[in-house]
Chains A and B, each alone.
Chain A
Amino acid sequence: MSAPISDERWAFLLERAGLDPMLAPERFAELREGYQFLARIQNSVRKRRDRAAEPAHIFVHPKGK
């Protein structure tokens, strides 16, 4: 879990996403609590990777028999 998010950072994220928290204040308050989990996950998927690790051809499926 990451540190709680500052008011300024939260306001920036909402504006960038085009969201208006006044449309559902309680929902957005809870969403803010969840941001700390997201921040950990965002960091987790950023790693040095082999060049072959690209999004093309995710699945290695056999050809039809």
Chain B
Amino acid sequence: MDPTRLSLAQASRAIAAGSLSPVALTEGYLARIAALDNELHSYVLVLTDAALEAARAAEAELRAGRSRGALHGIPIGLKDIYKTRGIRTTAGSRVYETHVPSEDAETWVRLRNAGAILLGKQETHEFAIGGPDFTLPFPPARNPWNTAHYPAGSSSGSAAAVGAHLCAAAMGSDTGGSIRGPAAYCGLAGLKPTYGRVSRRGVFPLSYSLDHCGPLARTVEDCALMMQALAGHDPLDPASADVPVPDYTKALTPRLDGVRVGVVRHFHERDAVAGFGRESTPSPVYVETFDAACRTLESLGATLVDLQLSPLIDYADANRVIMLSEAYALHEQDFRQRPHLFGRHMFSRIGLGAFLTAADYVEALRQRRELCAEFAAAFAGVDIAVSANATGPAPRIDAVGTFNTFTRASYTAPYNITGLPALSVPIGFENGLPLAFQIVGRPFDEAGVLRAGHAFEQASGLYRERPPIAASLPGR
């Protein structure tokens, strides 16, 4: 049996039972990367020797009777904004093309201590915002369901690799939707935890008050296993929250009896076109699929309640002003002194921050305060909420323009602005490409979000649908 067909959880159970070797699993993924990544471009650096050495060490530990837990011997990837000591970390930019950090991201330290094996560094949009940029030294990653199409970004390589079974799971980052967008387009589970839940230390920042780190995986259960290692206070991350971490896998149940689900329909049914124009019209298949997904939640015992919030564009605009202001502050010196080093998407997206004023930033923060209060009030009557994610299938990769992030509706920004945990889960397909919605929770209730996502995923069975490129290699 080809072990790369397994979910992270299945591989974990097989390793724990002694029926799967971490070395065989790592070799399987490395073989797939060698055979398929020329087409996908999901990795910018493959750590073949180091990964095999780590796999042998993991196996030796198991033979000696020592297990580090569910991630012991599990091969993963890191978006190339996660710093890795002694290993090149580029942030997808010429500015850091040869940069070798002297520190590890805290999240990678936690995953490694939990037994995970690093297969390599994965393609990212430049500084986690740049878009699929063909002017950079690192070719943009492709969608595993159709390589002519966009995997979304900025955690594009991570999502493409997980989707094509080139790793068991991966780490992404999310400032306006960079975990959940790629999860949606690549048919994965992707969790943006609560702001403060997972350390950002040692990850290239994009926007201090909007950045979140989180996992991408093929199932919600896999995300839960990753979160068990990742979550928890980091006193050296100024944004980290000292909030107890529950057992995430214990929270997973097949039913949702008694769970009150707030459904935010107006984001896609009314606000997208009203705020962003006709190009943001959700596809009819998406609208139908979203409704069917809500009915599935109901069939699992949940009660649906309509939620009315501020228009989607209020969340998106506050998110953009804050992100551009904070991102430009980070890159101002390079914009002034060596702007030619930036790719065109990154330059034009972040460069707009040069023209924002202090008053713009403060007004956006005030708007954010209002929106956070509004969401907190809305959650008084429900346990979780659901809202749309990208409301149509992935576009072709050559159709993604520099300013798409300003002209198209963003369904993910509300949860960066409010800091709430949000999970993208597949809900169906259109033209052979995945569709998804988001499940949102109260602050630090990742367990509730994962529970709902897992129950939905088990009922829909969509996690079993894999892209053709994920098929086993010949002879395996």
Contact = CB atoms under 8 A, between A and B. Distances in A.
Nearest to A60: B376
B94 to A, nearest CB: 12
A55 B347 contact: no
Contact of A55 (B338, B355, B362, B406): B362
A12 to B, nearest CB: 10
A59 B419 contact: yes
Chain A interface helix/strand/loop/mixed: loop
Given A27-B348, A33-B403, A34-B402, A42 B370 contact: no
Contacts of A64: 242-244
A27 B313 contact: no
Contact of B366 (A24, A26, A49): A49
17 contacts: A24-B340, A24-B347, A27-B339, A27-B342, A27-B347, A31-B351, A33-B348, A33-B403, A38-B352, A45-B360, A45-B364, A46-B363, A54-B366, A55-B365, A58-B365, A61-B444, A65-B243
B354 interface: yes
Nearest to A63: B243
A17 interface: yes
A58 B210 CA distance: 12
A31 B339 CA distance: 12
Given A27-B347, A38-B355, A53-B369, A45 B402 contact: no
Given A24-B347, A59-B195, A37 B336 contact: no
A39 to B, nearest CB: 9
Interface size class of A (residues with CB under 8 A): 35 or more
Nearest to A61: B443
A17 to B, nearest CB: 4
Contacts of A30: 344, 347-348, 402
Given A34-B402, A55-B362, A60 B355 contact: no
Nearest to B352: A38
Interface string A39-58: 00110111101101111011
Interface residues of B, number: 52
A54 B339 contact: no
7 nearest CB pairs, A to B: A55-B365, A37-B406, A17-B354, A24-B339, A44-B317, A24-B340, A53-B366
A28 B444 CA distance: 42
A58 B406 CA distance: 24
A42 to B, nearest CB: 5
Given A19-B336, A34-B402, A65 B369 contact: no
Contact of B348 (A31, A42, A49, A62): A31
Contacts of A59: 195-196, 372, 418-419, 443
B368 interface: yes
